[in-house]
Amino acid sequence: MLTTLIARTAAIVAVLAIGLGAASAETTQEKGLRIARELGQEPGFRDQAAEGEMILTTRNGQTSTRRFEARSVETGPDEARSVLTFLWPGDIRNTALLTHSHAGGRDDDQWLYLPAVSKVRRITSSGRSGSFVGSEFAYEDMVDQDVDKYDFNWVQTAPCPGGGTCDVIDRFPKGASAYSFERVWIDQARRLIQKVEYYDRRQSHLKTMLVSGYRQHQGKYWRAAKMEMSNHLTGKGTTLTWDNFRFNQGVNPNDLTVNSLRKGL
């Protein structure tokens, strides 16, 4: 078809040449940003709920398991409120992390409810690098990765960990972060994250997260079933498994507030 169009008129050839020239002039920074913007291009979910397990693994291979439930609701374009609440075992039951994600590059807000002392602790910018309830996930790993909060650079094309071809991009946090940059593998077929490498402020490879088990729900919402975080410094690992996704359940954003945390949600 393209050959036929080119044969019809030299004007089309000229237009195509200009377009191809513009495409070839795309910088690695522009390409990285474009690919990052293609992530999560799906219809808004309004609200969702899910359940899952957090599996902690020591350097010696010993494991312990926690069960949790999570709820989230969109509050505007690229903005949402979410809460993750632990169900068992008893020593962590009702501990909850509340996150308000903001658009436009604004820092997200996070609060941790500690039922043992009936207190809500705000997670400060400097505290976001800390371990989330003793896991290998930091608080900053538990927020939405809004494009406006990063600068980007395309690195290369490489095999995806689970098969297929990935674009590899680096994203550089604009705000306070424990990471100098994160290297992200994004599959070309569906634009879903497959792997993330985290580099500390000295640009040493600190952690790796593998994401797998994607399933499409209701014909439009892609969600991962497993996120495996490995800490190369401590030798420890944390796996988050997700199940029982439900969408448009009528989650009220007014129920995901600091006051709600204090009342035990």
pLDDT at position 212? 98
* Per-residue pLDDT band at 265 (split at 50, 70, 90): low
Residues 6+ apart with CB under 8 A from 199: 179, 180, 181, 182, 183, 205, 206
Residue 168: pLDDT band with limits 50, 70, 90: very high
Residues facing residue 48 across a β-bridge? 72, 247
DSSP E strands, the chain: 47-57, 63-76, 79-88, 96-101, 109-114, 119-122, 150-159, 165-173, 179-187, 193-200, 205-212, 215-217, 221-223, 226-231, 237-247
Radius of gyration of the chain (CA): 21
Name which residue leads in pLDDT, 10 or 194.
194
Give the single-character DSSP code of 114.
Answer: E
**Residue 149: its pLDDT value, please?**
92
End-to-end CA gap in the chain: 59
Residue 22 has pLDDT above 70, yes or no: no
In this prediction, what percent of the chain has a pLDDT beyond 90?
Answer: 74
How sure is the predictor about 43, in pLDDT bands with cuts at 50, 70 and 90?
A: low
| Segment 207-238, tens digit of pLDDT | 999 999 999 999 889 999 999 999 999 999 99
Asked if pLDDT for residue 241 goes beyond 90, the answer is: yes
For 57-108, write each residue's pLDDT tens digit. Answer: 999 999 999 999 999 999 887 789 999 999 999 999 999 999 999 888 788 9
Full DSSP string of 165-212: EEEEEEEEESSS-SEEEEEEEEETTT--EEEEEEEETT--EEEEEEEE
Cis peptide bond prior to 89, omega within 30° of 0: yes
pLDDT the model gives residue 126: 87
Report the amino acid identity of residue 110: Q
pLDDT of 24 strictly over 70 = no
| pLDDT value, residue 103 | 84
Band (1; pLDDT cuts 50, 70, 90): very low
Question: Is the pLDDT reported for residue 18 higher than 60?
Answer: no
Residue 198 has pLDDT above 70, yes or no: yes
The one-character DSSP state at 26 is -
Domains of the chain: 38-262 (2.50.20.10)
Neighbours of 264 (CB within 10 A): 11
